[in-house]
């Protein structure tokens, strides 16, 4: 067989991306939502995702099955790093323009109608606000398991903890979110 010909993938490899470019293209929007929920600023989230994608390029020789946990781990560490830097900067060099607190998120939405778009934005804003009030590990577990639909093992690898810890964080996050969202409604 010549080196340019590829063999057909078996069924186990069928769900894996063909190239790192395809993997990164498919994971981009979900990664952005994850970063935006953690950083609360659109530009910082875009920077974090871009940085994580650039770092993934050095791991393109790894098997495709390892890309997802590796990417989520890189992105999670980048988000935590940016949160720490922002906390340090705000604590010691607070300027007048940073004292405002939360910055508005750009809610670019391509929903079919204005009423539906407004309702979706309100629901999303309530969810984001509820997620912001969770402890960091609970927020990460919920975002990776529920919103990003990663399995328990992949989430545990990305978070650097056991699957049992992921289940505990997820259970506590769901309970807190349910209480918070019931109060809102």
Whether 73 maps to a domain, the answer reads: yes
pTM of the model: 0.51
Range of the domain at 31: 15-95
Q: Out of 4-8, 58-62, 154-158, 164-168, pick the least confident.
A: 4-8
Whether 50 maps to a domain, the answer reads: yes
In this predicted model, what pLDDT tens digit does every residue of 15-42 receive, in sequence order? Answer: 566 788 889 999 999 999 999 888 888 8
Domain boundary pick from 61, 95, 129: 95
- Looking at residue 126, its pLDDT comes to 86
Whether 102 maps to a domain, the answer reads: no
Whether 4 maps to a domain, the answer reads: no
Tell me what percent of the residues of the chain surpass a pLDDT of 70.
75
User: How many other C-beta atoms lie within 10 A of the C-beta of residue 81?
Assistant: 12
Whether 107 maps to a domain, the answer reads: no
Same domain, 118 and 155: yes
How would you class 128 by CB atoms within 10 Å of its CB: exposed for 0-12, middle for 13-18, buried for 19 or more? middle
Whether 101 maps to a domain, the answer reads: no
In this predicted model, what pLDDT tens digit does every residue of 133-160 receive, in sequence order? Answer: 999 999 999 999 998 889 999 999 999 9
Residue 96 has pLDDT above 90, yes or no: no
Whether 104 maps to a domain, the answer reads: no
Total domains in the chain come to: 2
């Amino acid at each position: 067989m010549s080196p340019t010909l590829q063999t057909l993938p078996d069924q186990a490899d069928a769900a894996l991306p063909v190239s790192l470019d395809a993997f990164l293209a498919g994971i981009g929007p979900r990664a952005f939502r994850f970063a935006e929920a953690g950083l609360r600023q659109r530009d910082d989230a875009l920077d974090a995702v871009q940085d994580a994608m650039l770092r993934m390029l050095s791991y393109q020789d790894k098997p495709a099955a390892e890309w997802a946990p590796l990417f989520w781990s890189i992105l999670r560490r980048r988000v935590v790093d940016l949160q720490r830097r922002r906390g340090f900067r705000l604590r010691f060099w607070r300027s007048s323009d940073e004292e405002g607190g939360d910055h508005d998120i750009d809610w670019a939405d391509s929903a079919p109608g204005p009423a539906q778009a407004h309702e979706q934005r309100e629901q999303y804003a309530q969810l984001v606000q509820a997620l912001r009030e969770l402890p960091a590990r609970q927020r990460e577990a919920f975002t990776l398991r529920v919103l990003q639909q990663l399995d328990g093992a992949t989430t545990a690898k990305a978070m650097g903890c056991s699957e049992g810890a992921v289940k505990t964080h997820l259970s506590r996050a769901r309970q807190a979110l349910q209480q918070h969202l019931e109060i809102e409604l």
